[in-house]
Copies of this chain bind each other. A is one copy, B any other.
Amino acid sequence: MSFQDDSPPALENPMKIIPSIPTMQRLSRKWKSAGKKIGFVPTMGALHQGHLELVKTSRRENDVTVVSIFVNPTQFGPQEDFKKYPRTLDQDCSLLRREKVQAVFSPSDHEMYAADPNIKIHITGSLVSGLCAPFRPGHFDGVALVVVKLLNIVMPTHLYLGQKDAQQVAVLKRTISELNLEVVPVVCPIVRERDGLAMSSRNKLLSMEGRRTAPALFKALMEGKRVARTGEKNPGNVLAEAKKVLSKEKKIKLQYLEAVDPSTLTPVSKIKKGTMLALAAYLDNVRLIDNIVI
């Protein structure tokens, strides 16, 4: 006779790795029926400290945390880096296990998309008239589609997003609001390397020299912020000072540097508290983005 047989299951279940949509939905439905707060961190894997801060915040604020790892083909343009985007699933799962995440949802492309998909989400207006959108046609439509799908699969109460992808944050907040999705978006600050470079999975693709040059992006944003804080209200003047920092770096090809309202993403005519300076630049053919709020 053994008392062990009647003992309750261990409180900390091992992390589940779930490739199937119905399995994930069943698990989430069970949690929801039990009234649990579900935190969700959607990622494309290649996890770094920025992702892990989202995960830690979700772990603190919810009963269970689900992380998705899915390199979403619909958000890459035909000329973009879908194929060379870093994929490190085993390492990612080790990191997430250490954070005591309850489940990793890692579907195949085939599980997520029908062979001949017919339904798209389309973002219009000021949200996609500037910043990354003109350079990445269809990108935010693809992001919104995959996140709506993931929200319907994972059914979280809270969604954790990183401020680094500021345009993505604005688009997803608006998508959640306009489609009446019942989830609370939580935006977490940018996590930076010691030298100021915003953490990004794409940093791995930089050469040694590119990596040494990259912190200039943040320095430029800081310079813009410094100038604005001296009382300069004209966006043109603020951005010009920031650009001066970048012009010293031959390796950096600036794509845009704008001063916008962080929720509508409309360019501002006057810099004020809350205005966001945002940029994208190429370095070694690697496209990096960063932003700062004044």
Contact = CB atoms under 8 A, between A and B. Distances in A.
Interface of A: 21, 25, 29, 32-33, 35, 114, 116-127, 144, 148-149, 152-153, 155, 174-175, 177-182
A125 B116 contact: yes
8 closest A-B pairs by CB: A119-B178, A152-B180, A118-B125, A120-B122, A122-B122, A149-B180, A153-B180, A119-B175
Given A118-B174, A120-B123, 18 more contacts: A21-B180, A25-B180, A25-B182, A32-B32, A114-B177, A118-B123, A118-B125, A118-B126, A118-B127, A119-B144, A119-B178, A121-B122, A122-B122, A149-B178, A149-B179, A152-B179, A152-B181, A155-B182
A182 B22 CA distance: 10
Contacts of A21: 180
Given A21-B180, A179-B149, A179-B152, A121 B118 contact: no
A179 B148 contact: yes
Given A119-B123, A121-B121, A114 B178 contact: yes
A174 B119 contact: yes
A156 to B, nearest CB: 13
Contacts of A117: 178
Contacts of A178: 114, 117-119, 149
5 contacts: A25-B180, A119-B175, A120-B121, A149-B180, A152-B180
Contacts of A116: 125
A177 B153 CA distance: 11
A1 to B, nearest CB: 37
A153 B175 CA distance: 14
A142 B182 CA distance: 21
A195 to B, nearest CB: 37
Contacts of A121: 119-122
A190 B17 CA distance: 45
Contacts of A175: 119
Nearest to A125: B118
Contacts of A35: 33
Most chain B CB neighbours (cut-off 10 Å) among A33, A117, A179:
A179
Contacts of A155: 182
Contacts of A123: 118-120
Contacts of A174: 118-119
A162 to B, nearest CB: 21
A149 B116 CA distance: 24
A178 B113 CA distance: 7
B124 A120 contact: yes
User: Which of A29, A116, A122, A180 lies at the interface centre, i.e. has the most chain B CB atoms within 10 A of its CB?
Assistant: A180
A30 B73 CA distance: 37
